[in-house]
Structure 1
């Protein structure tokens, strides 16, 4: 019955075909051992992949030894890799759990291609999906967070998703198949384990079939999310512009708050933060909101979105300016391109310095006679807050020569007395 249930689910969800080669993620735990036994029994061509994360001392070595013995006994090719998980987590500033996940799935995909496997089968089951739903509900999520674990994600498939942990243990017991137990799964330490060991047993006192009910609800929501996501994508196309999120267009949507959440959630903003940003729409501009890697700024007409991660900061370069000097002739035509600036070379006597503008900076905009604050100029020209922050000035001594990429200073313009031209191009 167990084998039939899995076979029917594989066929129903079109996870893979009988002639496909399946790479089994084999930890040695009950669920992964059951997955391997079922796939081999059903006649699929299987290879196994085991990750040793070196996080549990002797237990990690025990798991690897068990997996090696099992695959040898079943005549299944096995691939093993060792990871310095703690080192990776520290280097990339992520949690141990996230580090293990990234290392595992990156290697699985690489191995799948090397071995010409069609899919990577992982052993998530019904209880895992229910725990994921509750975990997301507790943290705060939209409809997509309530759909549980999906049967298929690119090349990753989950054939055991309709069976419970209890079903898996009964299956293994019936064939007298042993497995290893991760001691951390028995500890009331992480949030998921608290859900598994405390919350779900308490909910079962109210509804003994709570896991089945929640899984069924997640399945219905998964179907509904297909329609929901289609509408959300259409909404994104209407409100997202090169500048950011158009506030006017967002507020014209049938459900602007939901659409805003779906735009911001993938950037690391939770539901409470998305609500705060939504409430800022009828308030004064200038407010800033941060996730771990992104910033949203409430500007006059748009919500501006900027990547503020360490990687983005490292790749943010100063403007590159190419300099050219030559004698002035009457045939010379001054370019109208804002990325090009022309000056009377003999009026510039001090070396150039390039910096971001600061409060109090003044210059004489080309075509004008009096000085103007750079801040006032940028405001009058309707620069956004982020565009203002990214504006550079090219200075000769203490004097601003060029608001780079925008406007030159009139004091250094070419006139009837010009003998030499200085041409600057923004690369």
Structure 2
């Protein structure tokens, strides 16, 4: 029998979607996505199938498309398909085929969700995909967030098969005689992920035949440790943290009793934009004279005898704030930004309050400031320059709002993003993009 109970339990445990939601299943025709739709059907969920034909493998791509269409017909579910001119798009965007295909499919999935009110996009990622992602992150450099691997839910994208590994999926496909279409490109070691899949992971499994189960336990431990840390930070706040009007006072006596001091103090202050370097400087100054000032993009910390005083910066239209690579938040005027990085951005519905930027093009420190006379940028989708003053006029932005709108500036002086309005075309995601930096306006 298909593992329907485990499938539904995983969905409920991770709150991927509700029983009465309509889900869009991304189906390539391979064994993973075929098992996904059979489980959705057996569990009684309402869903549709979406298949992308990237027109890259001649007759093989058309055969996959026909297979998925027949699969949807056999299951009695709606079928969406699209033919992408992937090679032409990649050449136009000067990007790799892989990046172009990813951009095209996620954009299309987002459109389908808007048009048909689908609650989520279900992909067939499994435990082995998570292992590959973690290893890729480790080879490129990562923090604890990169050790999470592929999360069960990322915006609209959900992964209901993360409770299974590749060997289990292969066994289920064989046991239930489920037909599928094999993508010949999966055997190629041209791409980094396939090199890990075919050359590295088999060697690791020689050392540990239960590699998938070990990684799954490790992921659980990492996530639980993060939750434990959050609880400890909340408890530590009770020792050191008091609010005085618009200020927050941190007791130096309380801080001296924190253990581990750096980890807990960093946890308390990270939402205020203070990076690790500033925290180190702060700790080294705790026993020194009063008056030392520490700054983040939107806040200042003042060392004042027996306490630290945390307060918001007063920003006028001529002020600017800097953003360092470690910053997770930034504040400018009445705006609060959340900053994150990923190498697997999920489909995001069009949203002017979110900017997805090629991390490799960023030169730190970045700057948030107001519009200045003579500023120009290249609006997303255009290859010509446009003055910001003209852009604001075209957008019918009132004068007082124009002077308050944050402009994200790269270290080379170029405009990256008019926050809440438009990204610069030079900083969009391309085929060369290895990591994505996401800026999201929270307020």
Partners of 1:208 and 1:309 in 2: CA distance: 54
| More moved, 199-208 vs 52-61 | 52-61
Partners of 2:384 and 2:283 in 1: CA distance: 37
Tell me the CA shift for residue 93 of structure 1: 3.1
Partners of 1:148 and 1:388 in 2: CA distance: 33
Tell me the CA shift for residue 319 of structure 1: 7.9
1:263 to 2:327 alignment: yes
1:42 to 2:43 alignment: yes
* Contact map agreement 2:25 2:49 (CA 8 A) in 1: yes
* Contact map agreement 1:30 1:181 (CA 8 A) in 2: yes
* Contact map agreement 2:24 2:118 (CA 8 A) in 1: yes
Partners of 2:141 and 2:95 in 1: CA distance: 21
- TM-score by length of structure 1 reads 0.60
- What's the secondary structure of 1:263's corresponding residue? coil
1:99-248, aligned counterparts within 5 Å?
99-225=100-226, 235-239=269-273
Query: Structure 1 unaligned runs (5+)?
Result: 270-289, 298-302, 321-384, 391-427
Residue in 2 aligned with 1:294?
362
Residue in 2 aligned with 1:360?
none
Partners of 2:412 and 2:43 in 1: CA distance: 63
- What's the secondary structure of 1:48's corresponding residue? strand
Residue in 1 aligned with 2:5?
4
Tell me the CA shift for residue 92 of structure 1: 2.6
Cα separation, partners in 2 of 1:389 and 1:144, compared to 1, 3 Å: closer
Residue in 2 aligned with 1:74?
75
Partners of 2:100 and 2:72 in 1: CA distance: 26
Residue in 2 aligned with 1:21?
22
* Contact map agreement 2:21 2:119 (CA 8 A) in 1: yes
Residue in 2 aligned with 1:252?
282
* Contact map agreement 1:268 1:291 (CA 8 A) in 2: no
Residue in 2 aligned with 1:416?
none
Residue in 2 aligned with 1:60?
61
Extract structure 1 runs of 4+ deviating beyond 4 A.
225-234, 245-250, 264-269, 303-316, 385-390
- What's the secondary structure of 2:161's corresponding residue? coil
Partners of 1:260 and 1:132 in 2: CA distance: 26
Tell me the CA shift for residue 224 of structure 1: 3.5
Partners of 1:246 and 1:209 in 2: CA distance: 37
Tell me the CA shift for residue 291 of structure 1: 5.8
1:334-413, aligned counterparts within 5 Å?
none
How many residue pairs get matched?
A: 294
Tell me the CA shift for residue 129 of structure 1: 0.8
Partners of 1:195 and 1:388 in 2: CA distance: 36
Partners of 1:386 and 1:16 in 2: CA distance: 39
Cα separation, partners in 2 of 1:236 and 1:183, compared to 1, 3 Å: same
* Contact map agreement 2:377 2:388 (CA 8 A) in 1: no
Tell me the CA shift for residue 246 of structure 1: 11
* Contact map agreement 2:23 2:121 (CA 8 A) in 1: yes
Cα separation, partners in 2 of 1:59 and 1:156, compared to 1, 3 Å: same
Query: Structure 2 unaligned runs (5+)?
Result: 234-263, 285-293, 295-322, 329-338, 344-357, 370-374, 391-408, 415-443
Partners of 2:50 and 2:342 in 1: CA distance: 31
Cα separation, partners in 2 of 1:73 and 1:158, compared to 1, 3 Å: same
| More moved, 218-227 vs 198-207 | 218-227
Q: Spell out, residue by residue over 1:194-224, the C-alpha distance to the aligned partner (whole angstroms, 9 max, x if none).
A: 1111111101111111122122212322343
Aligned alpha-carbon RMSD (Å): 3.8
- What's the secondary structure of 1:33's corresponding residue? helix
Q: Spell out, residue by residue over 1:388-410, the C-alpha distance to the aligned partner (whole angstroms, 9 max, x if none).
A: 979xxxxxxxxxxxxxxxxxxxx
- What's the secondary structure of 1:97's corresponding residue? helix
Cα separation, partners in 2 of 1:177 and 1:268, compared to 1, 3 Å: closer
Partners of 2:113 and 2:124 in 1: CA distance: 16
Cα separation, partners in 2 of 1:246 and 1:206, compared to 1, 3 Å: closer
Tell me the CA shift for residue 386 of structure 1: 9.2
* Contact map agreement 1:295 1:308 (CA 8 A) in 2: no
Residue in 2 aligned with 1:371?
none
- What's the secondary structure of 1:296's corresponding residue? coil
Partners of 2:20 and 2:342 in 1: CA distance: 40
* Contact map agreement 2:132 2:196 (CA 8 A) in 1: yes
* Contact map agreement 2:364 2:410 (CA 8 A) in 1: no
Tell me the CA shift for residue 91 of structure 1: 2.6
